[in-house]
């Protein structure tokens, strides 16, 4: 691919009349002159390297996902997916979203600047002009730590998480599935609409959950205290240890069963 430096200049001038046949029919000679040059410039900013904020010099403890029909696995320092994904870091927060790339071959509104490249949507759906597609299916994150906070927005996603902090919080919107490797939590906070959590026989000391729509929590045991709000018609089955205390709020025909 070829790229301009962002500036296109067009120069032109009128031709002087030199024909003797024409001159002989004129009452006087036109003086020779040079028409002032007309300059049209384009200013095109084209990113030629990964176009997002990616310092990764802080330990990552939070992840924000914007995904659609994607399988994501975070194990150790690697994030892998079945589709191309972008990532960017903002302090301790890592953003992960689907790679949406559209090719283009013309940039600029004036002049004749032609550039082959790509339009890329960033995490906030802003258009970024770049030279390459940056399609990556996995990323190694050197400073990823025990994750404390997980946000997921989208539908049809499968999220597999390991190495979570003992005090973890989830907020998951859309119809998704979240799988959490067997973990012993001190406290666990879950907020979801229409998503299913499978904790694979994890245990938590205290649970705070707000479950809406078709959301559900599976294979989780609570030791000391559970505060659960259920809005919808589904049935939540939560294992409990002897002596566990509970507070529940139910809005709708759904049920919460501690067993």
Q: Is 143 left (phi over 0), alpha (psi -120 to 50) or beta?
A: alpha
More confident residue, 134 or 89: 89
CA-nearest of 148, 146, 176 to 66 is 176
Task: Using pLDDT thresholds of 50, 70 and 90, give the confidence band for residue 83.
Answer: very high
> Selecting from 2.20.100, 1.10.132, 2.60.40, 2.160.20, what CATH number does the domain 60-258 have?
2.160.20
What residue spans define the domains of the chain? 60-258
Taking the C-alpha atoms of residue 28 and residue 205, their distance in angstroms, rounded to an integer, is 103
Residues in CB range of 21: below 8 A, 6 or more apart: none
Residue 11: the pLDDT is 40
State phi, psi for 21 to the nearest 5 degrees.
-65, -40
For strands 60-68 and 117-121, give the pairing: unpaired
DSSP 176: -
**How far is 207 from 211, CA to CA, in rounded Å?**
12
Quick count: other Cβ atoms within 10 Å of Cβ 220? 25
Task: List C-alpha distances in Å: 193 to 22, 51, 65, 114, 152.
Answer: 84, 33, 15, 46, 11
Residues 161 and 142: beta-carbon distance below 8 Å: no
The pLDDT assigned to 9 comes to 42
Residue 30 has pLDDT above 70, yes or no: no
The residue among 158 and 129 whose pLDDT is bigger is 158
Say if residue 41's pLDDT is above 70.
no
Q: What is the pLDDT at residue 43?
A: 56
Question: What are 176-226's pLDDT values in tens digits?
Answer: 999 999 999 999 999 999 999 999 999 999 999 999 999 999 999 999 999
Strand partners, 13: none
């Amino acid at each position: 691919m070829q790229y301009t430096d962002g500036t296109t200049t067009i120069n032109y001038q009128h031709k002087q009349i030199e024909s003797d046949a024409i001159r002989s029919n004129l009452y006087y000679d036109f003086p020779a002159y040079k028409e002032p040059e007309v300059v049209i410039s384009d200013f095109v900013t084209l990113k030629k390297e990964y176009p997002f904020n990616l310092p990764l010099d802080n330990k990552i403890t939070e992840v924000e996902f914007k995904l659609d029909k994607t399988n994501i696995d975070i194990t150790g320092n690697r994030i892998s997916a079945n589709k191309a994904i972008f990532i960017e870091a903002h302090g301790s927060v890592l953003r992960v979203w689907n790679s949406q790339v559209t090719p283009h071959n013309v940039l600029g509104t004036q002049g004749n600047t032609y550039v082959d490249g790509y339009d890329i949507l960033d995490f906030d759906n802003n258009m970024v002009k770049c030279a390459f597609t940056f399609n990556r299916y996995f990323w190694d994150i050197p400073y990823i730590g025990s994750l404390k906070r997980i946000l997921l927005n989208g539908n049809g996603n499968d999220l597999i998480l390991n190495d979570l902090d003992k005090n973890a919080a989830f907020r998951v919107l859309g119809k998704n599935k979240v799988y959490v490797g067997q973990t012993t939590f001190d406290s666990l906070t879950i907020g979801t609409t229409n998503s299913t959590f499978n904790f694979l026989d994890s245990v938590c000391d205290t649970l705070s959950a707000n479950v809406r729509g078709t959301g559900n929590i599976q294979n989780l045991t609570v030791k000391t205290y559970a505060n659960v709000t259920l809005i919808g018609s589904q049935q939540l089955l939560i294992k409990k240890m002897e002596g566990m205390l509970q507070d529940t709020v139910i809005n709708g025909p759904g049920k919460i069963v501690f067993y």
